[in-house]
């Protein structure tokens, strides 16, 4: 089903199916496919890397530990401390860390040959992450302000004429409580999915031009296809990193919004 492997007689655009390979094996109804293995691989890679580099807890870091500290420190300081605030960011650092590196590594899987599947291009993964984020920031907000206080905070922006609340309350509720988590999930899913599809299209296009059309035109076109594919590839790497950052950043902003006093 992989477009790069078949020799097309005519150009067939890759479909969603192509991004969902059949499972390698099933245990009962549990389907264990490439996607699930990649998820578990990412956990092993992240935990292994960070625990390995910091194993000595050296005051003067080795190269590896320095790299690990840069990664951890980036999440801790730029996503945690700078956004959630000096006083309260500490409990959220492991969560931010998990979000960021889990998404980052799983996205980058899309750009690693052979693995070649950003796991967030499968919507379930993105839904789970957005749901966890949603539950956490809503819980934090209710815990801090009480149910009523949190509801008011989320639906009634201050300094607005009272009449406008008739319109604003449903709008704000829709915006903050429903659209926010949905976009949180769809943003990372859609970019990963689109990127994955774009690369598959470029690959399928190239393969079709080279083998299906043939001749000087076909080969020339396939060279163009390769260049286009490479361009998309690097753009995709950038987007994969950026989306991991954006997802975690938004979560930090949501938590900060839940924690702050007043509005």
Partner 1 sequence: MTAMLLAAEEGASPLLPNVWEMLITFIGFLILLFIAIKFIAPAFEKVYRDRTEAIEGGLAKAKAAQAEAKAARDEYNQQLESARLEAQKIREEARTEGEKILADFKDRANVESARITENAHKAIEAERAAAVVSLRDEVGTLATQLASKIVGESLNDDARANRVVDRFLADLETEQGRTGAAR
Contacts with partner 1, residue ranges (CB under 8 A) = 15-17, 19-20, 29-33, 35-36, 39-40, 42-43, 46-47, 50-51, 54, 57-59, 61, 65, 68-69, 72-73, 76, 93-95, 97-98, 101-102, 119, 122-125, 127-129, 132, 193
| Residue nearer to partner 1 on the CB measure, 118 or 225 | 118
Chain-centroid distance, C-alpha 199:
17
Eight-state DSSP code of residue 119: G
| Residue 111 burial class via C-beta count within 10 angstroms: exposed 0-12, middle 13-18, buried 19 and up | buried
Eight-state DSSP code of residue 27: E
Geometric angle at alpha carbon 200, from 196 and 206, rounded to 5°: 150
Which residues lie below 8 Å from residue 117, measured CB to CB, with a gap of 6+? 19, 34, 35, 38, 109, 110, 196
In whole angstroms, give the CA distance from residue 153 to residue 147. Answer: 10
Phi-psi region of 116 (alpha: psi -120 to 50; beta: other; left: phi over 0): left
> Can you spell out the DSSP letters for 186-218?
HHHHHHHHHHHHHHHHHHHHHHIIIIII-HHHH
Q: What share of the chain is helix, strand, coil (3-state, %, to 5)?
A: 75, 0, 20
Looking at the chain, how many residues does it have?
263
In whole angstroms, give the CA distance from residue 62 to residue 56. Answer: 9
């Amino acid at each position: 089903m992989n477009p790069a492997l078949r020799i097309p007689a005519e150009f067939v655009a890759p479909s969603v199916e192509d991004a969902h390979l059949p499972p390698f094996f099933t245990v009962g109804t549990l389907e264990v496919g490439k996607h699930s293995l990649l998820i578990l691989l990412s956990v092993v890679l992240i935990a292994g890397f960070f625990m390995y580099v910091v194993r000595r807890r050296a005051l003067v870091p080795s190269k590896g530990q320095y790299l690990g500290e840069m990664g951890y420190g980036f999440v801790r300081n730029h996503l945690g401390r700078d956004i959630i605030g000096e006083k309260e960011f500490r409990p959220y650092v492991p969560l931010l860390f998990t979000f960021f590196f889990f998404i980052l590594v799983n996205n980058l899987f899309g750009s690693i040959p052979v693995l070649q599947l950003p796991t967030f291009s499968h919507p379930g993964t993105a839904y789970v992450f957005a749901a966890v984020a949603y539950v956490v920031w809503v819980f934090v907000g209710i815990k801090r302000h009480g149910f009523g206080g949190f509801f008011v905070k989320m639906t009634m922006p201050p300094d607005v004429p009272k009449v406008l609340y008739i319109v604003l309350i449903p709008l704000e509720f829709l915006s903050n409580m429903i659209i926010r988590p949905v976009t949180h999930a769809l943003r990372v899913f859609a970019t990963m999915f689109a990127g994955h599809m774009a690369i598959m299209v470029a690959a399928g296009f190239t393969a079709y031009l080279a083998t299906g059309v043939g001749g000087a035109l076909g080969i020339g076109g396939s060279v163009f296809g390769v260049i286009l594919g490479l361009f998309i590839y690097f753009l995709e790497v950038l987007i994969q990193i950026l989306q991991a950052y954006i997802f975690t950043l938004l979560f930090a902003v949501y938590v900060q919004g839940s924690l702050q006093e007043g509005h």
